[in-house]
Amino acid sequence: MRFEDKNVIITGGAGGIGQALVELFASEGARVLFSDRSAEDCGDLAAALKRKDLECEYVAGDLRRRSFCAQLIETAVERLGGLDILINNAGTIPRGNIEETTDDMWFNALDVNLNAVFFLCRAAIPHLREAGGGAIVNTASTWGLYPGPDHIAYCTSKGALAAFTRCLGRDQAPDNIRVNAVCPNEVNTPMLQSGFLRRGIDPARGLEELGKTVPLGRVAEPDEIADVIAFLASDDARYVCGATLEVSGAKAVYG
């Protein structure tokens, strides 16, 4: 019960890694408010967790709207009674090189993967400070640290998110607010499966083949990333601050 009495916000909660996060934090005693785009998906997750005797709250909305980001923090603080941990996990993955990337794809990547994190963190920090400190964990990507091929908007947004994490980690450390990022390589979620489908590859077959390219022998499952995020958010990581932690099964991005 590492998160007993902790108030936690999780974005992208209805997605692959997000669902694992919501369940993990709720089962370790946290008061959780999660968010995602679709009210129906959020409701389904809350109902599934209730069947396991786990409670959580949710607010559906689009993180590309600044007003929604600020409102999400205020609503969470009001409903949970404060804020100790913010998990910026929502993300989107436009695929393509520069000539294939439209204005919308570019702005979408930056709005969801970077700008929303800025708005959420800015609104959250006074509340974390009021609580005497806290933790922010961002989900970046190894593809933001190294040049993955043909995903220029995604890689740029995740690279900026990694830099943002290091800057914010430095600036907020004196407030006892630890800011870190997890940088996964490939994870078995709808985001990865959409890439297989786009290339006409059967997802099960694609997963097996991709697993062979990972030195550890398989693609990560969502709970394996959620566990690292929970570690970074917990007191076990009390001296980890401004870090971008690669969780890749030792797979390099690009040879």
Ligand X SMILES: NC(=O)c1ccc[n+]([C@@H]2O[C@H](COP(=O)([O-])OP(=O)(O)OC[C@H]3O[C@@H](n4cnc5c(N)ncnc54)[C@H](O)[C@@H]3O)[C@@H](O)[C@H]2O)c1
Contact set with ligand X (CB under 6 A) = 12, 14-18, 36-37, 62-64, 89-93, 112, 139, 141, 184, 186-187, 189-192
Exposure pattern of 171-188 as b/e (b: 16+ CB <10 Å)? Answer: ebeeeebbbbbbbbbbbb
Exactly one of 146, 154, 239, 254 is catalytic; name it: 154
Query: To the nearest whole angstrom, how small is the minimum distance from the Cβ of residue 169 to ligand X?
Result: 18
Is 31 or 37 the residue whose CB approaches ligand X more closely?
Answer: 37
Catalytic residue flag (residue 154): yes
Query: To the nearest whole angstrom, how small is the minimum distance from the Cβ of residue 91 to ligand X?
Result: 2
CA–CA distance from 196 to each of 19, 134, 204 (Å)?
21, 38, 9
Query: To the nearest whole angstrom, how small is the minimum distance from the Cβ of residue 251 to ligand X?
Result: 11
Q: Which of 188, 189, 229, 191 is nearest to 211 (CA)?
A: 188
List strand residue ranges (DSSP E) for the chain, in order: 7-11, 31-36, 57-60, 85-88, 134-139, 177-184, 244-247
Is 62 or 150 the residue whose CB approaches ligand X more closely?
Answer: 62
Query: To the nearest whole angstrom, how small is the minimum distance from the Cβ of residue 110 to ligand X?
Result: 12
Q: Which of 183, 190, 191 is nearest to 232 (CA)?
A: 183
Query: Which residues are annotated as catalytic?
Result: 154
